[in-house]
Amino acid sequence: MSSSFSNVFSGALRLVRAAFSGTHQDHTSGSLTRSITLLAIPMVLEMAMESVFAVCDIFFVARLGADAVAVVGLTESLLTLLYAVAIGVSAAATALVARRVGEGDREGAASAGMQAIYLGIGVAALIGIPGAIFAPDLLRLMKLEETAVEAGSGYPAILLGFNVVIFLLFLNNAVFRGAGDPVVAMRSLWLANGVNLVLDPCLIFGLGPFPELGLTGAAIATTCGRGIGVLYQFAAFRRGTSRIVLRGAALALRPRLVAHLLRVSLGGVAQFLIATASWVALMRIVSPYGSVAVAGYTIAIRILVFAFLPSWGLSNAVATLVGQSLGAGRPERAERAVWLTGLYNMTFLALVTVACLTLGPQMVAIFTDEADVARVAEEALRIISYGYVFYAWGLVFTQAFNGAGDTMTPTWINLFCFWGLQIPMAWTLAGPLGQGPSGVFWSVMGAESILTVVALLVFRRGRWKAKAV
């Protein structure tokens, strides 16, 4: 018995080491469990590091008071629109790169990745200039109190103005994931977060030789961290340590391929815009209840995102496996990967639910000692986490569609569930039915659970297997 356990433990340890070392694996054949593990471990850690960006700022900014937290929360709700575009283009990039890798066309994969980068830079420029100029007006549009706008407008101005680093961090990592090289993506986020963690307190509070910049310092720290992460990504592309090498002919601008990528991206962008715009609408419904409600809701969402992004990382493994398996002409392997990953994701988020329900007050206490803010945050954390087991499957099904290049299916599902159900439900519960912010929390839980049921029914029809990319 002990010998058998020792063999299993040794095998698991070797697999984990392989996942961290970036072992090149053919994910179109062999053990699915091994492929999922090799892809998922670095992807989960990558998303955990992405969530650290969200939690790090709010941890330090919370010391500046409820107004500062409200600025961060409303800015984040605006940035979700930008994230939607970046993630939408990234979904298309992952699908195209994974499909070309599955077909054995490495040159085509590299070219697709480069065109995605060009597209991202262009979109970032269109958003960055007006975003920086009109940052205060955007906060006023969200009905933030004027004193908070005057004190914190530098925060959104910097993050929106330098949004190109956000785009490139997403896009480059999407290319690495599509190629089956998630370790490079993970390391870039580690580096970016390390810089952010060091600079955040220094620039916010003026530690050592650094000036005390408050909220503006938080924005500068985050931007610098992301920028250094992007430099690491491009160094990896140039060195050739990834399956994707961006040198020579791969750097050429190919307008037709950019246009094709744009067409595939439109569904992904619309998909995430619909989802994230609904979060902006929810924040707009909460904001009239004051800075305390917004701050509590913001803290709860940051905690939930911290738990949820690793789950997203696990589901990202499905996008790579589905894309590469379909490229290799193995749709049955793609489907088995979805069911197996969904089971793993459900188990993980079930544990997260237990943690949120039992340790919610302790989690919230890390971010605030204001009793009213903590009360709102604890309630939001408890209610939204009720649906986490459902979210696990919904996320995996969505990423399966995206990995196949079928980005329009999740778009229609999101439109129905978020704008057809969630927003009307939140408005009705919060206003006419007198539930206030609690009504918004219940609408999130209900709409996400319904989304999972709809996605399951569509997934079982199997049309995604025939999608050409």
pLDDT of residue 5 exceeding 70, the answer is no
Token output for 349: 């988020």
Count of Cβ atoms closer than 10 Å to residue 362 Cβ: 10
Task: State residue 336's pLDDT score.
Answer: 93
List, for residues 370-422, the tens digit of each pLDDT value.
888 889 899 998 998 888 888 899 999 999 999 998 888 999 999 999 999 99
Confidence of residue 104 (pLDDT cuts 50, 70, 90): confident
pLDDT of residue 19 exceeding 80, the answer is no
Confidence of residue 51 (pLDDT cuts 50, 70, 90): low
Question: Could you tell me the sign of the dihedral formed by the alpha carbons of 81, 126, 222, 230, in that order?
Answer: positive
Q: What is the mean pLDDT of residues 446-465?
A: 92
Q: Measured between alpha carbons, how far is 372 from 298 in angstroms, rounded to an integer? A: 13
List, for residues 308-318, the tens digit of each pLDDT value.
777 887 888 89
For the chain, how many helices (H) and strands (E)? 18, 0
Nearest one of 43, 42, 65, 69 to 55, comparing CA atoms: 69
Q: What is the mean pLDDT of residues 431-455?
A: 90
Tokens 């188990």 map to which residue? 347
Task: State residue 21's pLDDT score.
Answer: 67
Q: Calculate what percentage of the chain has a pLDDT beyond 90.
A: 31
pLDDT of residue 1 exceeding 60, the answer is no
- Looking at 162-176, 201-215, 293-307, which range is the least confident one? 293-307
Give the angle 55-60-63 at the CA atoms, nearest 5°.
130
Average pLDDT, the chain: 86
Contact 166, 194 (CB under 8 A): no
Task: State residue 143's pLDDT score.
Answer: 72
Task: State residue 432's pLDDT score.
Answer: 87
Chain centroid, CA 326 distance in Å: 24
Which one-letter amino acid corresponds to residue 196? N
Residues in contact with 99: Cβ distance below 8 Å, sequence separation at least 6, in sequence order? 323, 324, 326, 327, 405, 469
Confidence of residue 337 (pLDDT cuts 50, 70, 90): very high
If one compares 243 and 463, the residue with the highest pLDDT of the two is 463
Q: Measured between alpha carbons, how far is 305 from 257 in angstroms, rounded to an integer? A: 34
pLDDT of residue 115 exceeding 80, the answer is yes
Confidence of residue 64 (pLDDT cuts 50, 70, 90): confident
Q: What does 325-360 look like in DSSP terms, one character per residue?
A: HHHTT-HHHHHHHHHHHHHHHHHHHHHHHHHHHHHH
Confidence of residue 346 (pLDDT cuts 50, 70, 90): very high
Q: Measured between alpha carbons, how far is 180 from 399 in angstroms, rounded to an integer? A: 15
Give the angle 261-267-268 at the CA atoms, nearest 5°.
80
List, for residues 235-293, the tens digit of each pLDDT value.
999 887 677 888 888 889 999 988 888 888 888 888 888 887 887 788 888 888 888 88
Nearest one of 311, 166, 312, 320 to 243, comparing CA atoms: 320
If one compares 203 and 12, the residue with the highest pLDDT of the two is 203
Nearest one of 396, 369, 392 to 307, comparing CA atoms: 392
Count of Cβ atoms closer than 10 Å to residue 169 Cβ: 26
Task: State residue 195's pLDDT score.
Answer: 93
Task: State residue 368's pLDDT score.
Answer: 80
Q: What are phi and psi of 431, to 5 degrees?
A: -95, -85
Q: What is the mean pLDDT of residues 62-72?
A: 83
- State the angle between helix axes of 106-133 and 164-179 in degrees (0 to 180), rounded to the nearest 10: 160
List, for residues 149-160, the tens digit of each pLDDT value.
777 788 889 999
Token output for 273: 């815009």
- State the angle between helix axes of 215-239 and 32-61 in degrees (0 to 180), rounded to the nearest 10: 150
Task: State residue 393's pLDDT score.
Answer: 93
- Looking at 16-30, 84-98, 296-310, 387-401, which range is the least confident one? 16-30
Burial of 466 (0-12, 13-18, 19+ CB in 10 A): exposed
Token output for 50: 């992405």
Residues in contact with 396: Cβ distance below 8 Å, sequence separation at least 6, in sequence order? 315, 318, 338, 341, 342, 345
Task: State residue 338's pLDDT score.
Answer: 94
